[in-house]
Amino acid sequence: MSGEAERPGTPHEEDRLLLRATEVAGLPVVSINEGEAVADVKDVVYNPDQGHLLGFTLNKRGFLRGPMKAVLPMDSVAAIGRDAVMVTDSSVCDDKGSPLADEVRTSAGRNVVGNEVLTDTGRRLGTVTDIVVAADRGEVLGYELQGDSKLQGQGGRPLFLPIPVTLAVSGTALMVPATVEPFIRDDLSGFGAAVEEFRAQLSGSSS
């Protein structure tokens, strides 16, 4: 047996539900109390400086489909699943201008998709095509890349790049430590574990 006991209820990293942001966009927002979908996710709002989702902009459903004034801050989300984003009640879709809702609105225009990723030694790793989210906590674990030709996944598959908890953004370039390269994967299977190993290495080297 290993020395440190695992905390009850803590899922293994490989068991966590990992989703691309493009898989979350378009999902219905379902109210648990009302038992129905109250909106659709329009855009996933992410702050690369903080390393986590801020929330979602929303679309109306049905014939009146179109952008809603209300937004959904991440701290009002009960759960993110493969088929729906769950909230306790439709009232958490905020159109009142709370500080969290305002942050979602002001950050909605920020988009790392299309940005180049460079290491701190000046090597280009590729271009961001999506972000990878741990659904249970709204944390961004990494980026899906169209990799540099020397790094491209087998059969032209995209690459999955772990990122630190916080990330340096310079103009349109995203800067990552060169030590990330051994942890790059070409499949989401096991990617959560690779992220944990990479971040543990960073934490150990900085202590």
Per-residue pLDDT of 69-87, as tens digits, reads 888 999 899 999 999 999 9
Given the candidates 2.60.40.10, 2.30.30.240, 3.40.50.150, 3.40.190.10, the CATH classification of the domain at 17-107 is: 2.30.30.240
pLDDT of residue 38: 93
Mean per-residue pLDDT of the chain: 82
The pLDDT of residue 103 is above 90: no
Domain(s) labelled CATH 2.30.30.240 in the chain stretch across 17-107
| Residue whose C-alpha is closest to residue 123's, from 155, 161, 67 | 161
Mean pLDDT, range 20-25, rounded to an integer? 94
Q: How far is CA 49 from CA 71, 93, 170, 202, in A?
A: 21, 24, 11, 17
- Give pTM, 2 decimals: 0.81
| Residue whose C-alpha is closest to residue 93's, from 51, 48, 26, 41 | 41
The pLDDT of residue 5 is above 70: no
Using pLDDT thresholds of 50, 70 and 90, give the confidence band for residue 46: confident
The pLDDT of residue 158 is above 80: yes
